[in-house]
Structure 1
């Protein structure tokens, strides 16, 4: 590319390299009507610090031999972030997050705290990115574009859940038993199921939730399990359906 990069922040200050022939002894480089500071110059290359500006401008190099043909350079406004979805996920990362905002078409990096990932640009108002590995807790999310970097959103890394007990751990095949499930990292629970059948639940805190057993699919007794799914994964614990007495 004869000019690299061919875009930058409206505030200027970034380094731009222009390549060509007969560029030695350059006396000025102009971005539209503004002059850029020349930092190095050879017969095939001029390196400058871009001035501030807006929109698309022509870049020309002036040497003792005259003016070069123009090259297009684009000033990019500072991006903004409006929303991030989902706003939490496993510490192992790998899940995809969508960020909505403005001025995102030149996004090159999304940082989740100290860890970065390369986004996929969907439009000027949306990018998606695979979340890098992190540690449990909230981190700031920063998007870097040609126009600069923006933050203001946060993402929460969640530990993988564990389930250690269900009390009681048995009940009738007709369901209806209130069960207290204990474990760790249960505060982002998305669903609870008894053998694949979704059940109502209430999260009390990160270690406890209460749910109501569902009936068995065939009305019969037997072993089963409770599946607790959070933003970071699924954990299970045994639950037994016990047939009622008969005489």
Structure 2
């Protein structure tokens, strides 16, 4: 074989830079040139371990099942995601994002890690939270319009995200402590609804009820007037009267009342001043419309005419004064006489028969009995 012609110049090709392929482990690298392929050398490809920058959300229910998003670097080829020592189902979205389904675990904090061919990341904390337990609502009833404040008691309220009365969310609400929160009741319909509290640990499932009550309605009062000293009993009728918390005559509360049924209350009238006042009933559902009640002063007689007549009776006598509207009796001494109320300041009566002489005439109303005026019975002429 002839040796190469030394007159032909030898050309040396410059090296060509190439990028290492994806993967991990040891591979043999070779170079191919026009004269052939070299034997090659071993080359070890090392991938960087993955890093987790954030876990969102970073807490959830002990029951698991919620979706958690991991962001970071080096997630390509991920082989596992673990919450503590427990493997989670996951989907690799990209080299910087993975979504995982949190597995169930006891309450407490664990480290979330991701493993790739490059290694296992450092852990990022994830907290398992026990679900809230609701044990009571106080007060447990209120008006349809809502807006009243209630206190919820229980456990696991830290981080509460919502409070619901049936399907309606309470707003605002305040977490006072892990065992107590306060909430403004939303508008609702009449009847009971379930109250629930939701936290990152889940939603309470205990059957705690709140009752929406319609406002009371008053239709009538059995006696619409009485003396200023009070003490007389009246009956109020209407609807939604159960659980009444107050019966008021004007601004004065009746100290004694009895709830007979949802449609009836009996109350003892408190003292008051002469005049008409509104009577109302208050329940957790609100305050009723009013019915009128009149406090009556003791009637006053200022005159009667004529002030005398035959002992045989039959004389029409006009009485004047004040507070005569609700007159229930006109007495000549102790003898009742027929009468007609003309106005609050006047009535007419017919003198009953009786022995000759002076008698006292008085007027009786629910406000009391007037001071009397004298009326003289005369014997017939010739006696």
* TM-score over 0.5 (shorter chain): yes
Structure 1 residues 237 and 23: alpha-carbon distance in aligned structure 2, compared to 1, 3 A threshold: farther
Alignment of 1:193-208 (within 5 A): 193-199=248-254, 200-208=256-264
Alignment of 1:96-107 (within 5 A): 96-107=149-160
Cα distance in 1 between the residues matched to 2:298 and 2:76 = 95
Q: Is the 8 A contact 2:252 2:270 kept in 1?
A: yes
Among 255, 269, 272, the residue aligned to 1:213: 269
Q: Is the 8 A contact 1:177 1:212 kept in 2?
A: yes
Question: 2:101 corresponds to which residue?
Answer: 49
Structure 1 residues 188 and 39: alpha-carbon distance in aligned structure 2, compared to 1, 3 A threshold: farther
Cα distance in 2 between the residues matched to 1:31 and 1:176 = 74
Cα distance in 2 between the residues matched to 1:147 and 1:208 = 47
Question: 1:72 corresponds to which residue?
Answer: 125
Cα distance in 2 between the residues matched to 1:57 and 1:152 = 32
The 10-residue stretch of structure 1 (171-180 or 226-235) with the greater mean CA deviation from structure 2: 226-235
Among 223, 231, 234, the residue aligned to 1:168: 223
The structure in which a higher percent of residues are strand is: 1
Question: 1:3 corresponds to which residue?
Answer: 55
Cα distance in 2 between the residues matched to 1:167 and 1:45 = 77
SS in 2 for 1:36: strand
Q: CA deviation at 1:40?
A: 4.5
Cα distance in 2 between the residues matched to 1:146 and 1:174 = 61
Cα distance in 2 between the residues matched to 1:103 and 1:224 = 50
Question: 2:294 corresponds to which residue?
Answer: 240
Q: For residues 82-131 of structure 1, what are the alpha-carbon distances to aligned partners after superposition, in whole Å with 9 as ceiling and x for unaligned?
A: 11111001111121221100111132222222223353211110122221
* Coordinate RMSD, CA, aligned: 1.7
Question: 1:142 corresponds to which residue?
Answer: 196
Cα distance in 1 between the residues matched to 2:239 and 2:77 = 68
Question: 1:231 corresponds to which residue?
Answer: 284
Number of residue pairs matched?
244
Q: CA deviation at 1:41?
A: 2.3
Alignment of 1:112-123 (within 5 A): 112-117=165-170, 119-123=173-177
Cα distance in 1 between the residues matched to 2:114 and 2:291 = 72
Q: Is the 8 A contact 2:190 2:211 kept in 1?
A: yes
TM-score of the superposed pair, with normalisation by structure 1: 0.92
Cα distance in 1 between the residues matched to 2:268 and 2:125 = 65
Structure 1 residues 51 and 159: alpha-carbon distance in aligned structure 2, compared to 1, 3 A threshold: same
Among 186, 189, 199, the residue aligned to 2:244: 189
Among 112, 125, 139, the residue aligned to 1:59: 112
Q: CA deviation at 1:221?
A: 0.9
Q: Is the 8 A contact 2:75 2:92 kept in 1?
A: no
Rg (Cα) greater in structure:
2
TM-score of the superposed pair, with normalisation by structure 2: 0.60
Where do 5+ consecutive residues of structure 1 fail to align? none
SS in 1 for 2:157: coil
Q: For residues 31-53 of structure 1, what are the alpha-carbon distances to aligned partners after superposition, in whole Å with 9 as ceiling and x for unaligned?
A: 11111110342223211110111
Q: CA deviation at 1:154?
A: 0.6
Please tell me whether residue 24 in structure 1 is matched to residue 76 in structure 2. Answer: yes
Among 37, 45, 67, the residue aligned to 1:15: 67
Please tell me whether residue 157 in structure 1 is matched to residue 212 in structure 2. Answer: yes
SS in 2 for 1:2: strand
Q: CA deviation at 1:75?
A: 0.8
Cα distance in 2 between the residues matched to 1:69 and 1:90 = 55
Cα distance in 1 between the residues matched to 2:74 and 2:267 = 77
